[in-house]
Amino acid sequence: MTETITLRRPDDMHLHLRDGAMLEAVLPETARHFGRAIIMPNLVPPVVTARDAAAYRDRIMAALPAGMAFEPLMTLYLTEATDPKDVAAAHASGLIKAVKLYPAGATTNSQSGVRNFDKVRGVLETMAEIGLPLCVHGEVTASEVDIFDREAVFIERVLDPVRSKTPGLRVVMEHITTEEGVAYARAGGDDLGATITTHHLVINRNHILAGGIKPHYYCLPVAKREKHRLALREAATSGEPRFFLGTDSAPHADHLKEHACGCAGCFTATNTLSILAHVFEEENALDRLEAFTSLNGAAFYRLAPSEARIRLTKGPAINYPAKIETGAGPVTVFDPGFPLNWKVED
């Protein structure tokens, strides 16, 4: 029985760090185990220009505790006013690694997102020319589309047409949640990748709704039926290079989660690697954990894998904190609902 695993230091290819007091509190939870992360730009106001991205990167690095090594991989928030020249210059300088597409109204702080895709055609064509990935929040926002169908409809109505009209565009399907998402990612070529979150490997929609509403399991895209969770687990543990970790760890203070209109997001930064080791062990795939956490995402983003290593050991159940305290209020740590026996050794 395997009791120790050594991995290249992982990358989180989809992470929310927020800003200000929240940033200062949650950044160490990621930097403790992860060497790099693709940083989401949906602040208020959003990170829309190279100048915004540089300033945000500086704030992240200023908040990093002494003795921790961490590289934020910056992104720009795509709007209908985004300047292709600014995007190209930011990429050429090494400042940004991707541009993020939020359909307007799809999730937290997405009000500045795209409504008319014809208005971003020039940006997408520039990105295809320079090889800069587009990270996609894959949901339509039309009120007549059921929330549990919005990912599948997005693939049909938006993603596939965008990719067909923009040959060579490199796309990351962020936080896929459905059988349809897995199938579409598999049918794509080398220019298509997909991130899978920690929590979508663990919960289905019953965890949110059965026996009372559980606000700390509410996220967007929302967790789906059990068959979709199982499809995600099969994809994540397959070792296929198109699938890689993007936690979508998204901290919200408890008073904003436990609210009449609670915010969407699960905060998984603290215990993600323990949860993933548990899941991969259940699937008899511990030998593929490094590919999912440390190799596949780096390869898609054309980065060298980390030379640093981390070690996980299996032992008595770990008592992770139920909450972390922040200057913006307490944040609840995602509870997978089962004991965690895999620990990252410091």
Q: Which residues are catalytic, by number?
A: 248
DSSP-assigned beta bridge partners for residue 249? 15
> Which DSSP category does 155 fall into?
I
Question: What is the signed CA dihedral for 332, 336, 339, 345, rounded to 10 degrees?
Answer: -70
Q: How far is CA 341 from CA 7, 31, 279, 288, in A?
A: 17, 21, 11, 18
CA distance 39 to 219: 18
Q: Which two tokens stand for residue 27?
A: 């950044």
CB 277 within 8 A of CB 5: yes
Q: Which residue stretches of 64-137 are H helix?
A: 84-92, 121-130
CA distance 269 to 100: 21
CB atoms within 10 A of CB 187: 9
Q: Which two tokens stand for residue 184?
A: 């579409």
Kindly tell me the burial class for residue 283, based on how many C-beta atoms sit within 10 Å of its own C-beta (0-12, 13-18, 19 or more).
middle
Residue in the block written with tokens 């949640």? 177
Question: What is the signed CA dihedral for 256, 259, 264, 268, rounded to 10 degrees?
Answer: 60
With residues binned 3-state (H G I as helix, E B as strand, rest as coil), the percentages for the chain, rounded to 5, are 35, 15, 45
Secondary element (H or E) of residue 231: helix 226-236
DSSP-assigned beta bridge partners for residue 342? 314
Q: Which two tokens stand for residue 221?
A: 């895209």
Q: Is the Cα dihedral 84, 86, 89, 93 positive or negative?
A: negative
Q: DSSP letters of 235-254?
A: HHTT--TTEEE---B----H
